[in-house]
Structure 1
Amino acid sequence: MSFHKIFPIPPSSSCKYRAIKYSILTRWRMQHDAEKDLKSKLRCHVESCSSHLVLAFLRSLYRVLQKAVDGALVTMDRRRRAQSVKSLAESQKGLVKSSNNYRLDSLDGRSEKGIKTSTRAKEVCGSREDMDAYKGATQSANGRNWGAALFDIFISALVLYFAAFGFLAYAQDGTMASLPLNQIIFKMAGFNPTIFPIIFTLIVAKFMKAWAQFKLERGATIGTLEHLLGGRSFVAAFLTPLKHRSVGLFAIAVFLFWCLDPVGGQLSLKTVSKDANYTTIATNFHYVDFNDSPFQLTNESNRLASINSAFTTALFSPATAKNGSQDLFGSVQIPLLEVLKRNQKADSAGWYRTGRLVELNATSKALAKLEDFLNVPNDADVDDHANILVYASLTGIPFLRGIPVIPPGPGAANTSATDNVTMPLSTLYEQLFGAQSGEVVHTESQFNIETSYFYLDCKTSLDGKTSDASDFPQGINKQQGIVSNGHQFSVQYDTNHTLNSTAPQTIELTSWSGHSGGSGDITKASCGLSTTYVEASVYCISGNNCSVQAVRASLLDHPSSSLSQLDGITPPFNDSSLSVRQSIPQLFFSGFITATGNSTQNPTGLSPIECYFVHPENPYQCSFDNTPYSLHNLGDELFSHRFTQLLNTYWMDNVAQFSVTGNFTLNNIYEDSLHSTVPGQTRIETQVLRCHTTLMVILETISIILFFLGLATAYLDATRRGPDILDDFVSVLRHSPYMHVEAGSSMEDGCDKAHRLRNTLIRMGDVRPDDPFGYVAIGTPSERQPVRVLQHDRSYR
């Protein structure tokens, strides 16, 4: 600083003053030079100090500054807490509720007009005061919100679970449902409808909010923001456009996208299911062929005992076995083709349906596949009587399942289906499915057999009445072809019927009903005996549970239907002498008419064979009944059917008595040449996992879209610049002139602000209670800011 500025000397000063001036100037210059020398010395001294002393000084200075900053922060925190406590206390004591008036407890002597003026002034400058009140550290715009982005990426990764589920189901398509991995897939499918809506809502809602924040920072209309924030749930996406009366393409697109929420949940459930898988293999079947079953030319007692036992067992069998598709021993029954022809028309291949398929289809999962499996046309004209079946015999045709043709595995050879051996189903399952052989649902089989049966077309009549039956034939008369049981029951056959005959052999039956005493009717029936050759389609729904599904006349070449096996047409009798062939009917009928034995016949009743005509369900009980039954009252058709059943039963018991009683094997003594082998097929049903490809593709598409939406949300959150304010109610109160709280930073997120002000009391009410017209706003009720409860009798601007 200049010396003249310190000591100004007026221009009119005398020499005396000038001398004094120079004297003082000289001394000042000497002092100034001394100070400069001292400063120079001090500067040299400081420069010569060691570096470790400088560092120590800097460390001490840093500690002092750090303590000062910490003290300032503690002071600010105490002030903030004191302000919160003060605001809460003011809000609690500053309100006086009254039905007529609402005033503050203390007005500090101010006039009402002064209070109004002060309040309005604060309303005008309140916002500015709030903004200027914050004295904390400043904060720049957000750079990269990596925490929010990582959380969004984690959420988007959750949807990859459904993508993995779809691909896993597709990879396991067609495999056994019982596999451990497939069981896990089914459990996943069960949980999917619960999990999918949660993940879908989480991803889409966060995307809508992030998109709204992005649009808000770059400028968007309020309508756009309302649609984005209001479209964060299925119901809100539907109601928001209606509430704002703005239904545009964007609102429709948002709602349609939300429709994928329930659709995706159901797709994740329906993508996989358990389905029936069929494995069809060629299989041989063995059965007793009665086309090639010769009559056993014997009347030895040991042979007749087993034959008669089989016959009486058939008579004793329950009605369900006599009228069922299988007999008592599981052999398959053949329906009478003559009865089917009267009730329906044949299909295009000549088949007549038995109606049994309709019953089985009730439990079948694939009727069309079953029709293809049976290989029988389904175009037959069937009326309501098609299910009325009459079987040709009380004894069915025994059969066995042979060796199937199993496709060879790696290093294995084909198993021939022509081997005359059988295979248990358990062994077959083991060879086909290995460890999963226990998962077979059921096994069905189909095969066709060629067979034949006797058919009698009878005419019955009353041949008088008599009380004296002494003139009835007794025993056997070979010349006349008569055999009798010695109890007024006889059968006469045509002894002149030969292999050259063109008409059916005539069989006459005579029965007397006067056993109980007095006069009785004599029934005489004249029957034409012929042979019916049929082809039967057999279907086994499970194991050996089988039935004939369709019957047609055999397409093979056979002898004339006028001939029968009683004429010796079955080998080895084709080349036998006439006397041998003529002995067949005599031996057959003599055994038949006495098969039930005289010891089982009541002297005052009919024989069990005769009783079968009138009471087939229990013929032995009928034989002890004293009721005089007349067989001619049955009618020709019913008599013919029951006579046919009796003769066929005894014939089958005669030629294969061991096989028809449930002991059919391929090496029975005397019966090893009776079986025939026919090709068939066995179809094994297993449960597999079935992936529905179309549903899987849709699910995968939705999952990929959700995944990229999650990534987009992560990007939008990572690049967000401003505070997060769209999710919190407290953001509505930012810079409100009626909120007398610490303002906080303008970059403060809504959730942080809500946590900081969580104990602050606010109210929506009348912030101008003393004005003629009220004004509704949200504020902090206190002495500084009254917030009156809204009244029904007051008007508001």
Structure 2
Amino acid sequence: MISLTNNTMNSESRPREQSPLMTTPDSENTETAKTQGFREPSVREKAHTHDTAYEAVRDQSDGRDSGAAHEFRRANKDPFVILVDVFAVICPAAFLVFAFLVLKLDGQVIDDAPARQYRNAITILATLFPIIFAAIVGRLMSQVARWKLEKGATMGVLEQLMGSRTVGGTLLFHFQLRVLNLLALFLVLIWIFSPLGGQSILRMLETRSRTVAQPADVVYFNTDAQSQFASWSDVSPTSNAYNVNRMSIVNAMYNALILSPDAVKSGAMDVWGNVKIPALSSYGDSGNSDWQSVPQNDTEREFSSLVGVPVTKVAEGNTTFSLESSYIHLECGNFSVSSFSYSPGSGTTFATEVQFNETSLCMSDRCNSVANGTWQGWNLRLNGSLISNDSNNQDRGAGWNLALDNFIDELWIDYDWYTQRGLKVEDSNRPDVFAEEKGVVANPTTLLFQAKEQTSSYATPEYTTSRCGATQKYVESRVHCSRDSPTARQNCSVIAQRPSQKPHADENISQLSFTRVFRYVSRKLPQATNHFASSYTSDISLNYLENPSSATMTAATAPPELANIPPRDFGYRLAQLVNSYVFLSQAFSNAPSGSVDAMASFEPNVTVVVDVKTPVEVFHISGAWIALYMLSCVVLLLGGVMSAVVTHFVHGPEVLGYASTVVRDSKFMDISTAAGRMDGIDLTRMLKDRRVRYGYTQLSVENIPLVGVGSQEETDVILRPCVVHMNDIASVSGLELQPQDQYGAYYIGELVMRTIQHGLSLDPDDATEAQDKLKYTLIEGIHELYDNQSQGHFVHILEVVWIVDQCFLQGWLTRIHDRLSGQRLSHLQIAVRDGNKICEDSCSNFRVELRDDDIGSLPIVYIDIDTRGTWTIGHVVEMLIHEMVHRYLMLFSCQGGFSHEFGGCSQYSHDKRGRHRHYPRMLIKHVFETIQEWDDTLRFFGEVFIDRCDQDGQYDALVDMGILYM
């Protein structure tokens, strides 16, 4: 039997060979054990004269430290502190200065380079503002908390201040603290200016489009100018050649206008960029003197001419001006058709054409006058024969012709009379001559249009005639022009019109009322397309009258049916052709380039002073955002000033907010006593290489380990306890506590201490008997190979397991539990067999499962041993003891304890391996070293496991607490 030895020698000071398996302290030592249960760490003072911000003042009298009379050196005068104070004031001031600089930009036109610089500055400052705000206001919070700590304050106030050093930290901390007071509201109000200030920087400077008006001159052609037809004469071969050349230009431009694309015909500008004048009567009321908007829909308005008015010197930007112009308006009646007919009573009747009087339209400077009321026009023989009235004229006939029944008196075209009255000859032959005249009577004027229609050269011709009232309309147009750049083409259109408010000649006096003008219109216009008398083919002028579309007009192969054209449409189309031809005679040299060239000049012209409105981008300052930004800067400036002031009112070290504060006065670490006078950053700098950990320390009170922050080597990890389902947890300090299915009720440190104490408290006779029985059981067959086919070997193993559990593990694993189902079960189940598939990576394996195959479940510790290979009984027992210790600690400790609710253990990451093995190592070493003391035969028993426990840096699967949580 094993004798029980009482020994009061400290196990740490005795050799291992003399340490008993179990000792029972006597009554004299019980009190000593209790008083020695808590051990103070030895604290040694170290001198750090160069590493501390606050040092002991030397006593100059004896050269020794003054002991308790320590004073603090003022670190507030440190250059770095002064530099931070300056930074805390200058940065907010710089932000304010930027705000005033931005204010000066309001309304200024944006220049590319400065605008780019300001936008870059805003982007950078919007990023820096929250950072600088957090640095300055966070420092203020820290310094105020430091000052409050010196003066005395509640923990809640200090935590509120130290937790409010960022925006998110302020909100999250007060939510976690569940406190709502004036200080909390004040702190949130201060920190809200951090994001608001950053956003206000981005939003305070905007760009807007504004119209800038600048005076400028716009020049446009005067449509009341004299037609150059009036000055051309055929009196000599030289002048005739000159006139023929100019007529070819006019005719070419006329054909270009007729054949221009439909988009150009219906557009606001002609093919050369001149602005076209709409016919006011086509969409509005000619008798209304108010401004009338011009419809933008092509079907709702007609243009007076296919050629527009040249406009030049349009500046870059938007320009709106008034343009005075005039045009011929034709009010046509229904068509009359003279056709071939045969009547039995009267015989055959052939179609006849209207004969015109050409006397007043001769090409000489002196022509005989013809009384008004007679159709006066150029007889272009509609049968295609040569015109023989004038020996100098070899023009062929045409498919249509024009005549007028009323002209001005020949006195108004007498150049001598003009000269005698002191008038300019170039001002004659135009309606504007009569603008200032009084008592001039103008009779209504009618324009006769006559066309020959013949389907073939052998068919009987028909003559279609229309009579149109001709008047000269004077309108004032509001023209809007825009030009993107000085070299870009201008874009002009008429946006509104009204009848001209200026004095003008009688409307019955038109450009056609002058014989020198009409003789060219009557003679040359029908021949402008070079279609000579082939009436059975298509004349593009007549095709235009039927349908102005270029596609239809050029594809026509037969004469148009003019009689089917509505009189209103025919009048506007014929007026467009006549006005185009007359206006080309006025400005054929200016129309192609006058509007394209911004600096073009032409005569006669009209110059108007306009305001050129140019849209420009200007800076706009948002009043709300700039005010919010300046308020944020003021808050930041006040925070910087206050932080600098408070810093110089604090005398103690800065200890709040540093990780080193938790070990500053720790009894679990060996730290200099001077640490209490050091700034947190200085202490951190001194201890930056020391590894610390929060967990169970090596100190205890009444065998309960203390939890705190200490050196990593001397502190074990603490894990969160599992869910424990029990009604009452008894004190672990009493030896009478039994598990009572309270799985996971103990902290692992407490369980290890209790287990060792249990062995020491056994009855001496029972302890000796158990020791002898286990010793001989282990020695017997320790070197014999285990045979998994031998029932005796397995019974031998079970006997060893039972004794180990009773001696070292309080008998909890093999204790029999009576279940509700009538079964009697224990926690332990062992499987020792060859080829154990459960043990794939190691020789032994364990698992804890809830046996629920019957009523009254019970957590079962399954231990599997793989005997594959050559294993002695001693080796198998060693592995069993190792697994039993770990499974015992797992089942009854909160570190991985069993949960009835979840049916399993707490789960921890593989990364925790090798980090939680202090207490399992302690108990394993205790078991193996105690057994080794019993006999020399057992002196190497479990040595491999003990050696591995001492190798902290080596991976040891057998003592790895991480396995417990897989």
TM > 0.5 fold call:
yes
The yes-or-no answer on 1:613 pairing with 2:545 is yes
**Match in the other structure for 1:411:** none
1:395 shift after superposition: 0.6
Counterpart amino acid of residue 681 in structure 2: C
**Match in the other structure for 2:656:** 726
Contact 2:660 2:680 in 1 (8 A): yes
Contact 2:693 2:715 in 1 (8 A): no
**Match in the other structure for 2:327:** 453
User: Helix, strand or coil for the counterpart of 2:306?
Assistant: coil
- Cα 1:645/1:184, change in 2 over 3 Å: same
The whole-number CA distance in structure 2 between the counterparts of 1:653 and 1:333 is 13
Counterpart amino acid of residue 306 in structure 2: L
The whole-number CA distance in structure 2 between the counterparts of 1:522 and 1:185 is 78
**Match in the other structure for 1:548:** 494
1:612 shift after superposition: 1.4
**Match in the other structure for 1:185:** 118
1:694 shift after superposition: 5.7
1:761 shift after superposition: 4.0
- Cα 1:643/1:291, change in 2 over 3 Å: same
1:447 shift after superposition: 1.6
**Where do 1:359-398 residues align within 5 Å?**
388-398=300-310
User: Helix, strand or coil for the counterpart of 1:662?
Assistant: coil
Contact 1:605 1:623 in 2 (8 A): no
1:691 shift after superposition: 4.9
**Match in the other structure for 1:351:** 291
The whole-number CA distance in structure 2 between the counterparts of 1:116 and 1:210 is 51
Q: Residue by residue, what CA displacement relative to the aligned partner does 1:228-285 show, whole Å, maximum 9, x if unpaired?
A: 2222222222222222222234323322332322222233233434555654332232
1:633 shift after superposition: 3.3
The yes-or-no answer on 1:558 pairing with 2:504 is yes
Which has the larger share of helix?
Answer: 1
Of residues 686-695 and 465-474 in structure 1, the stretch that sits farther from structure 2 once superposed is: 465-474
**Match in the other structure for 1:337:** 280
**Match in the other structure for 1:264:** 197
The whole-number CA distance in structure 2 between the counterparts of 1:517 and 1:120 is 147
Contact 2:38 2:700 in 1 (8 A): no
The whole-number CA distance in structure 2 between the counterparts of 1:452 and 1:583 is 19
The yes-or-no answer on 1:539 pairing with 2:539 is no
**Match in the other structure for 2:311:** 399
Counterpart amino acid of residue 495 in structure 2: Q
The yes-or-no answer on 1:640 pairing with 2:580 is no
The yes-or-no answer on 1:316 pairing with 2:259 is yes
1:615 shift after superposition: 4.3
1:171 shift after superposition: 4.2
Contact 2:40 2:699 in 1 (8 A): no
**Where do 1:250-329 residues align within 5 Å?**
250-276=183-209, 278-294=211-227, 296-297=229-230, 298=232, 300-329=243-272
**Match in the other structure for 2:130:** 197
Counterpart amino acid of residue 713 in structure 1: S
Contact 2:227 2:582 in 1 (8 A): no
**Match in the other structure for 1:444:** 318
Contact 2:332 2:570 in 1 (8 A): yes
**TM-score relative to the length of structure 1:** 0.66
The yes-or-no answer on 1:630 pairing with 2:561 is yes
The whole-number CA distance in structure 1 between the counterparts of 2:102 and 2:599 is 51
Among 238, 245, 248, which residue is 2:181 paired with? 248
Report sequence identity in percent: 21
Contact 1:613 1:643 in 2 (8 A): yes
Counterpart amino acid of residue 455 in structure 1: H
**Match in the other structure for 2:172:** 239
The unaligned stretches of length 5 or more in structure 2 are 1-11, 49-54, 57-69, 234-242, 342-347, 359-373, 383-397, 409-439, 723-743, 751-966
Q: Residue by residue, what CA displacement relative to the aligned partner does 1:30-77 show, whole Å, maximum 9, x if unpaired?
A: xxxxxxxxxxxxxxxxxxxxxxxxxxxxxxxxxxxxxxxxxxxxxxxx
1:652 shift after superposition: 0.4
1:456 shift after superposition: 2.1
The whole-number CA distance in structure 2 between the counterparts of 1:456 and 1:725 is 102
User: Helix, strand or coil for the counterpart of 1:514?
Assistant: coil
- Cα 1:752/1:469, change in 2 over 3 Å: farther
Counterpart amino acid of residue 140 in structure 2: F
Among 601, 606, 630, which residue is 1:700 paired with? 630
**Match in the other structure for 2:640:** 710
Counterpart amino acid of residue 541 in structure 1: S
Counterpart amino acid of residue 392 in structure 1: S
- Cα 1:154/1:639, change in 2 over 3 Å: same
The whole-number CA distance in structure 1 between the counterparts of 2:678 and 2:30 is 33
**Where do 1:462-477 residues align within 5 Å?**
463=337, 471=351, 473=353, 477=357
**Match in the other structure for 2:688:** 758
1:448 shift after superposition: 0.8
Of residues 648-657 and 495-504 in structure 1, the stretch that sits farther from structure 2 once superposed is: 495-504
The unaligned stretches of length 5 or more in structure 1 are 1-93, 95-103, 357-384, 403-424, 426-441, 568-580
User: Helix, strand or coil for the counterpart of 1:291?
Assistant: coil
Contact 1:230 1:236 in 2 (8 A): yes
1:107 shift after superposition: 9.5
- Cα 1:513/1:341, change in 2 over 3 Å: farther
- Cα 1:133/1:264, change in 2 over 3 Å: same
**Match in the other structure for 2:159:** 226
Contact 1:153 1:711 in 2 (8 A): no
Contact 1:444 1:539 in 2 (8 A): yes
1:794 shift after superposition: 3.7
1:649 shift after superposition: 0.7
1:767 shift after superposition: 5.4
Q: Residue by residue, what CA displacement relative to the aligned partner does 1:395-423 show, whole Å, maximum 9, x if unpaired?
A: 11012228xxxxxxxxxxxxxxxxxxxxx
- Cα 1:614/1:387, change in 2 over 3 Å: closer
**Match in the other structure for 1:70:** none
- Kindly tell me the number of residue pairs found equivalent between the two proteins: 606
**Where do 1:481-520 residues align within 5 Å?**
481-483=376-378, 485-487=380-382, 489-496=399-406, 500-501=441-442, 503=444, 505-510=446-451, 512=453, 514-515=455-456
Greater relative CO, 1 or 2 (CA 8 Å, sep 6+): 1
Counterpart amino acid of residue 337 in structure 1: L
Contact 2:318 2:614 in 1 (8 A): yes
- Cα 1:659/1:152, change in 2 over 3 Å: same
1:179 shift after superposition: 7.1
